[in-house]
């Protein structure tokens, strides 16, 4: 067999992620590899920590980038904090809430499932009822921005509710970090994970996570050993500790971390508020254009994520045909529906670097063309 180098075309990525990334971040990936224990690399990791603290709006000492994708970040939060027999209230309003349940049950813990409709925010009342009915629950877990449906949930209120009932919170911020308001310390989030390839506009493969002091205490006071060696954050803590004496745990994905560092430098330079505003502005422009095309959103206006626009596929339109047409004619990728919404919805991402006027204009024009084929 004959194998050649792979030369991908330049796509415009407006799906649910990976999202478009800036030329600077892309270029940073090809910088020379250095050792993961090299003093210069350790210094860079310290900056990644500080920049992630800024992105998460937290002073949490334990704020790092896990060397694996967001789904490993989710698992890291659950397996470190939750022990067999613990009761966890899990809010499910899409694919990723469902995945949380699978994480809880594989630990041997009990998931109290609070279902809200797909395409809607988590229903606060139902969570409160579950908390009252389960005074022995230890955690409340929910997805801040459901990537499968494009709905945002009221993380601030959910956290306040959990605190009132003496529960720690585990929050999925895969799609929310850097795209909408997210205040880890102010809202009192205890364990949070995200992904590098969404609104941070870095390549996929890393998962920023942060644990509050309360969460760290829970880990330290565990009765049982963490079931995963790779995700055992009590071992990872010393690998990421900034005191210069780093103990080996695993080999960090050096070049991907160059990309994350660069993307966080860009976030810091733009400013979190400006970036959030930019997402909102581009979302409004997209929504206006979609309305003109007669396309309807799945999520009611007040619960919509600006960075992930889930829309109904118009009647009589062939899902796959349109997506292929966009990809082949315009190098434009939009996302398919996931789970219950497969075949019924498209997901248009406006994440990070992709949240730009030129992308919105192209997407609307290309979509209009495709629908008229």
Exposed/middle/buried for residue 196 (C-beta within 10 Å: 0-12, 13-18, 19+): buried
Least Cβ distance, residue 66 to a copy of itself (angstroms): 9
Please name which of 354, 174, 183, 177 lies closest in space to residue 276, comparing C-alpha atoms: 177
Residues 116-175 that bind a copy of itself (CB under 8 A): none
Strands (E), the chain: 12-14, 62-66, 87-92, 110-115, 139-143, 145-146, 151-152, 168-172, 191-193, 207-211, 308-312, 332-336, 345-349
Asked if 30 is part of the footprint of a copy of itself (rule: CB under 8 A), the reply reads yes
Residues 195-254 that bind a copy of itself (CB under 8 A): 195, 197, 203-205, 225-230, 248-254
Binding mask 60-99 for a copy of itself (x = CB under 8 A): -------xxxxxx-xx---x-------------------x
CA distances from residue 19 to 138, 152, 301, 325, 332 in whole angstroms, order as listed: 35, 19, 23, 19, 11
Residues 301-360 that bind a copy of itself (CB under 8 A): 327, 333, 336, 338
Asked if 58 is part of the footprint of a copy of itself (rule: CB under 8 A), the reply reads no
Phi, psi of 64 (to 5 degrees): -140, 175
Choice from 134, 157, 163, 255 touching a copy of itself (CB under 8 A): 255
Least Cβ distance, residue 131 to a copy of itself (angstroms): 25
Asked if 8 is part of the footprint of a copy of itself (rule: CB under 8 A), the reply reads yes
Asked if 22 is part of the footprint of a copy of itself (rule: CB under 8 A), the reply reads no
Choice from 58, 169, 175, 256 touching a copy of itself (CB under 8 A): 256
Least Cβ distance, residue 313 to a copy of itself (angstroms): 17
Least Cβ distance, residue 49 to a copy of itself (angstroms): 12
What secondary structure does DSSP assign to 129-158, as a single string?
HHHHH-TT--EEEEESEETTTTEE--HHHH
Choice from 194, 261, 296, 307 touching a copy of itself (CB under 8 A): 261
Asked if 49 is part of the footprint of a copy of itself (rule: CB under 8 A), the reply reads no
Least Cβ distance, residue 291 to a copy of itself (angstroms): 26
CA distances from residue 6 to 12, 13, 324, 329 in whole angstroms, order as listed: 18, 19, 21, 20
Q: Report the residue number, 11 or 165, with the smaller CB distance to a copy of itself.
A: 11
Buried b (16+ CB within 10 A) or exposed e, 54-63: ebbbbebbbb
| Stretch of residues binding a copy of itself (CB under 8 A), selected from 20-28, 138-146, 310-318, 358-366 | 20-28
Strands (E), 166-246: 168-172, 191-193, 207-211
Least Cβ distance, residue 268 to a copy of itself (angstroms): 5
CA distance 159 to 227: 27
Binding mask 273-312 for a copy of itself (x = CB under 8 A): ----------------------------------------
Please name which of 206, 207, 164 lies closest in space to residue 77, comparing C-alpha atoms: 207
Maximum Cα–Cα distance across the chain: 64
CA distances from residue 285 to 19, 138, 295, 314, 358 in whole angstroms, order as listed: 19, 42, 14, 20, 11
Least Cβ distance, residue 108 to a copy of itself (angstroms): 9
Q: Report the residue number, 127 or 170, with the smaller CB distance to a copy of itself.
A: 170
356 among annotated binding-site residues: no
| Stretch of residues binding a copy of itself (CB under 8 A), selected from 55-63, 212-220, 257-265, 301-309 | 257-265
Q: Residues within the annotated binding site for substrate?
A: 347
């Amino acid at each position: 067999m004959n194998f050649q180098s792979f030369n991908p075309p330049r796509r415009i990525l407006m799906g649910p992620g990976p999202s478009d990334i800036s030329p600077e971040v892309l270029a940073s990936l090809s910088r020379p590899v250095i050792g993961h224990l090299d003093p210069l690399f350790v210094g860079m990791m310290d900056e990644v920590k500080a920049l992630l603290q800024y992105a998460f709006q937290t002073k949490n000492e334990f704020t790092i980038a896990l060397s694996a994708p967001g789904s490993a970040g989710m698992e890291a939060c659950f397996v470190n904090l939750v022990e067999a027999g613990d009761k966890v209230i899990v809010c499910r309003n899409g694919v990723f809430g469902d995945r949380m349940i699978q994480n809880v049950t594989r630990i041997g813990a009990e998931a109290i499932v609070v279902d809200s409709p797909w395409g809607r925010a988590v229903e606060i009342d139902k969570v409160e009822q579950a908390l009252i009915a389960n005074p022995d629950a230890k955690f409340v877990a929910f997805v801040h921005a459901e990537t499968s449906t494009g709905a945002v949930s009221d993380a601030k209120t959910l956290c306040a509710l959990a605190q009132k009932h003496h529960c720690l919170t585990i929050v999925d911020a895969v799609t929310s970090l850097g795209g909408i308001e997210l205040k880890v310390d102010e809202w009192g989030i205890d364990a949070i994970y995200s992904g590098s390839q969404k609104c941070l506009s870095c390549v996929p493969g890393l998962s920023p996570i942060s644990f509050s002091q309360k969460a760290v205490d829970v880990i330290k006071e565990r009765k049982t050993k963490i079931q995963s060696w790779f995700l055992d954050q009590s071992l990872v803590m010393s690998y990421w500790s900034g005191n210069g004496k780093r103990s080996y745990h695993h080999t960090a994905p050096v070049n991907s971390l160059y990309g994350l560092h660069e993307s966080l430098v860009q976030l810091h330079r733009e400013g979190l508020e400006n970036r959030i505003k930019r997402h909102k502005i581009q979302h409004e422009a997209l929504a206006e254009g979609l309305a003109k095309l007669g396309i309807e959103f799945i999520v009611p206006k007040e619960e919509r994520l600006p960075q992930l626009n889930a829309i109904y596929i118009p009647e009589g339109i062939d899902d796959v045909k349109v997506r292929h047409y966009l990809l082949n004619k315009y190098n434009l990728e939009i996302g398919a529906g996931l789970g219950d919404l497969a075949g019924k919805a498209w997901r248009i991402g406006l994440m990070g670097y992709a949240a730009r006027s030129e992308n919105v204009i192209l997407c609307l024009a290309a979509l209009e063309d495709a629908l008229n084929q």
